[in-house]
Structure 1
Amino acid sequence: MPEKGYLVTTLALAKVTDIDEILALHARYQVDTISIEDKKDGFITTAFNREQLTHLIEQEQGLFIAKKDECIVAYVMAASWHFWSAWPMFAFMIKSLHELSYQGISLTIDNSYQYGPVCVDKSVRGQGVFEQLFEFSLAQMAGRFDVLVTFINKVNPRSFAAHTKKVKLDVLQEFEYNNNQYYELVCLTKR
Structure 2
Amino acid sequence: MIYDLFIATTADVPEILALQAENQIAKGGALSVEFPAAWFETTVQEMPVVIARRRGRLVGYLVSSAPERTKDYALGQAKFEAYPAKAGAYNSGPLCIEASERGQGLAERLFELQGSLLRGREGVGFIRRDNAASRAAHAKYGFLEVAIFTYDTIEYLAVARTT
Aligned partners of 1:72 and 1:65: how far apart in 2? 7
Report the counterpart of residue 159 of structure 2 in structure 1: 185
Please report the RMSD computed on the Cα atoms of aligned residues, expressed in angstroms. Answer: 1.6
Q: TM-score, normalised by structure 2?
A: 0.91
Q: CA deviation at 1:120?
A: 0.8
The Cα of 1:116 is off from its aligned counterpart by: 0.7
What's 1:17 paired with?
11
- The structure-2 alpha-carbon separation of the partners of 1:92 and 1:174, relative to structure 1 and needing over 3 Å to count, comes to closer
Identity of aligned residues (%): 26
Contact 2:82 2:158 in 1 (8 A): no
1:132-151 residue pairs with structure 2 within 5 A?
A: 132-142=109-119, 146-151=121-126
| Cα pair distance change 1:174/1:96, threshold 3 Å | closer
Structure 1, unaligned runs of 5 or more? 1-6, 99-106
Structure 2: which 5+ runs fail to align? none
> How far did residue 97 of structure 1 move?
4.0
* Distance in 2, Cα, partners of 1:50 & 1:173: 30
Q: State how far apart, in whole Å, the 1-side matches of 2:40 and 2:10 are.
A: 8
Please list, as runs of the form range in 1=range in 2, the aligned pairs for 1:1-191 lying within 5 A after superposition: 7-32=1-26, 34-35=27-28, 39=29, 43-58=30-45, 60-98=46-84, 107-108=85-86, 110-142=87-119, 146-164=121-139, 166-189=140-163
TM-score (norm 1): 0.79
2: CA distance, partners of 1:126 / 1:93 = 27
Deviation per CA, 1:135-181: give whole Å up to 9, x if none: 10121122xx62111111112222112111x3131111222222211
Partner SS state of residue 25, structure 2:
coil
Instruction: Say how many residue pairs are matched.
Output: 163
Q: Is the 8 A contact 2:47 2:66 kept in 1?
A: no
Query: 1: distance between equivalents of 2:99 and 2:83?
Result: 33
Q: Which has the larger radius of gyration?
A: 1
Secondary structure of the equivalent of 1:78?
strand
Hey, what does 1:4 align to over in structure 2?
none
